[in-house]
Amino acid sequence: MAKDKDIRDVLRAQLRDGRFRMADVDPDSTPGLKKRKKARKDMEAAHAELFSLQERLFAEHKRSMLIVLQAMDTGGKDGTITHVMGHLNPQGVRITTFKAPTPEEKRHGFLWRIRRNLPEPGVIGIFNRSQYEDVLIARVHSLAKPPIIERRYKLINEFEKQVVRSGTKIIKFCLHISYDEQRRRLLDRLRDPDKHWKFHETDIDERAYWDDYMSAYSLAITSCSTQWAPWYVIPANDKDYRNWAVSKIVTEALEEMDPQYPHPKLDIPRLVKRLRD
């Protein structure tokens, strides 16, 4: 995987005239992948490579990684965690799902609950939704005044810069599906009794705000795709491509970090002798 073209350059959110637009990304496209069948084949090799890199990060125990997943309902956050991160060593992974703030969380600033769930050294943390809910839903449903939301963008950037400086690599994924693809996935959930637990009627209600959400995502990515914590917008109608792209980016980021096994000073002959006695 490392020998291929850096997929991060391909999928990093691109600003045109100083702004990112979700409409510029085709959810059906597969940038960086010449043959769709190659995605599944590559994933088999990627699992072993990711596991090895994660083991080194866990053993090194100095730095960490934070993966942020954002998407519309049915966008594939859970599927990405299962198919990409599900092959990692669970003791080195921490998954946090952020839902509507609890009464306790509301008594603090919006970043309070985010800080409390940052990954420890050696750990890969995965945020299923994140601090960006407070500039996405908040903007779409007018839960905060525009000046407050504008200030939140700056607070997020400052916060993420601090996190990176402390030794945590941040990778932010926006899994981008189309309006029609979301309809198909919601219908699939209704047709499959085993998926009914995933269905919420509010998912249908939220579809009425699709354009507003696309605008909110565009503004959030424009404001918060930084050099230290860039956004990667993944065309996600094709699940195999989504998994392939996320896996590639995570692998490339870990390779760049190049975690190393520690080499403690051990008196090997003495220890071997003790074991044999």
CB atoms within 10 A of CB 246: 27
In a domain, 59, yes or no: yes
Nearest to 25 by CA among 40, 11, 4, 8: 11
Helix (H) or strand (E) holding 95: strand 93-97
Helix (H) or strand (E) holding 165: helix 146-165
CATH number at residue 263: 3.40.50.300
In a domain, 11, yes or no: yes
In a domain, 157, yes or no: yes
Helices and strands in the chain: count of H runs, count of E runs: 12, 5
Q: Please name every residue paired with 125 in a beta bridge, in sequence order, or none if there are none.
A: 66, 94
In a domain, 1, yes or no: no
In a domain, 260, yes or no: yes
In a domain, 249, yes or no: yes
Number of domains in the chain: 1
In a domain, 156, yes or no: yes
Question: Helix, strand, or coil here: 144?
Answer: coil
Residue by residue, pLDDT tens for the chain (277 residues) are: 444 568 999 999 999 899 999 999 999 999 999 887 778 778 888 889 999 999 999 999 999 999 999 999 999 999 999 999 988 999 999 999 999 999 999 999 999 999 999 999 999 999 999 999 999 999 999 999 999 999 999 999 999 999 999 999 999 999 999 999 999 999 999 999 999 998 989 999 999 999 999 999 999 999 999 999 999 999 999 999 999 999 999 999 999 999 999 998 988 899 998 999 8
Domain range for 65: 7-276
Pairing of strands 93-97, 168-176: unpaired
Distance CA 86, CA 78 (A): 10
Here the tokens at position 46 are 């990627």
pTM for this predicted structure: 0.94
In a domain, 2, yes or no: no
Residue with tokens 């914590």: 229
Nearest to 208 by CA among 24, 73, 20: 73
